[in-house]
C-alpha cells in the first residue's frame, strides 16, 4: 500500500469489536510515534497508555468519546522542554506532539486497527484523574481497537477540497 492509499483508507473509527489488541500492536504504534520528526529533535512529548477498566472509567470523566475501546494512547506536549524559536518565542511543543500523534494514527490504520483523534475532552479533569499528565498539554486521545464488523464510516470521509482550493501560487 502506498502512503496516499494509507492516508485515504484511514477513517475515524467510532465502533470497536471486543477483540483484544495485542501488546505488540500497541508497541508498534508507540514506536511509530518515536520515529516522528520534532523541532531540533527535542522530542518534547509523552505517550500515556490507559488499558485497565479502572483507568478507563477515570478517562470517561474527561470525555464521553471512548467508543467502547479497551486501549487508549494519549499524546501530551511538554512546553517546558521544547524548541522555542528565538526571534518570536514560538513554542513547538504542540506542533511536535501533533506530528507524533499523526504518525501513531497512521500506524494504527496500517496494522489493521482503528481509531479516531479525540480532541473533545476536559483537560483539567484529565489531569486531575491522571496527575502524571499535569505538566503536559494534551493534544490527542486515541481509543484503539479492531473496528467492529458493522463499523459506520462517516459519509463525510471521502469529502475533501480540491488542490486548487487550498494551493496558493505566490
pLDDT at 125 over 90: yes
Residue of 31, 68, 52, 26 whose CA lies nearest to 130: 52
Asked whether residue 3 is assigned to any structural domain, the reply reads no
pTM > 0.85 = yes
Span 24-52, pLDDT tens digits: 999 999 999 999 999 999 999 999 999 99
Strand, coil or helix: 101? helix
Residue 157 pLDDT: 80
Residue of 93, 82, 103, 96 whose CA lies nearest to 137: 93
Asked whether residue 91 is assigned to any structural domain, the reply reads yes
- Gap between the Cα atoms of 1 and 116, Å rounded: 21
Q: b/e per residue, 141-162, with b = 16+ CB within 10 A? A: bbbbbbbbeeeeeeeeeeeeee
Residue 158's pLDDT band, with cuts at 50, 70 and 90, is confident
Q: Of 157 and 128, which is predicted with more confidence?
A: 128
Span 69-117, pLDDT tens digits: 999 999 999 999 999 999 999 999 999 999 999 999 999 999 999 999 9
Asked whether residue 164 is assigned to any structural domain, the reply reads no
Asked whether residue 123 is assigned to any structural domain, the reply reads yes
Range of the domain at 27: 13-147
CATH number of the structural domain spanning residue 18: 3.40.109.10
Asked whether residue 66 is assigned to any structural domain, the reply reads yes
Residue 159 pLDDT: 86
- Gap between the Cα atoms of 153 and 150, Å rounded: 9
- From first CA to last CA, the distance across the chain in angstroms is 34
Residue 167 pLDDT: 92
Asked whether residue 119 is assigned to any structural domain, the reply reads yes
User: Count of domains in the chain?
Assistant: 1
For residues 53-81, average pLDDT: 98
Asked whether residue 92 is assigned to any structural domain, the reply reads yes
Amino acid at each position: 500500500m502506498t502512503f496516499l492509499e494509507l492516508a485515504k483508507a484511514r477513517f475515524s473509527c467510532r465502533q470497536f469489536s471486543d477483540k483484544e489488541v495485542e501488546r505488540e500492536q500497541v508497541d508498534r504504534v508507540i514506536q511509530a510515534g518515536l520515529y516522528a520528526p520534532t523541532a531540533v529533535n527535542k522530542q518534547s512529548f509523552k505517550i500515556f497508555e490507559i488499558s485497565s477498566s479502572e483507568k478507563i472509567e477515570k478517562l470517561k470523566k474527561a470525555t464521553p468519546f471512548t467508543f467502547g475501546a479497551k486501549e487508549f494512547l494519549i499524546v501530551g506536549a511538554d512546553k517546558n522542554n521544547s524548541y522555542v524559536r528565538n526571534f518570536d518565542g514560538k513554542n513547538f511543543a504542540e506542533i511536535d506532539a501533533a506530528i507524533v500523534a499523526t504518525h501513531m494514527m497512521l500506524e494504527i490504520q496500517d496494522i489493521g486497527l482503528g481509531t479516531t483523534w479525540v480532541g473533545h475532552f476536559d483537560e483539567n479533569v484529565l489531569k486531575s484523574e491522571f496527575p502524571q499528565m499535569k505538566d503536559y498539554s494534551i493534544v490527542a486521545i486515541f481509543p484503539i481497537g479492531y473496528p467492529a464488523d458493522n463499523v459506520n464510516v462517516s459519509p463525510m470521509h471521502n469529502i475533501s477540497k480540491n488542490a486548487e482550493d487550498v494551493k496558493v501560487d505566490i
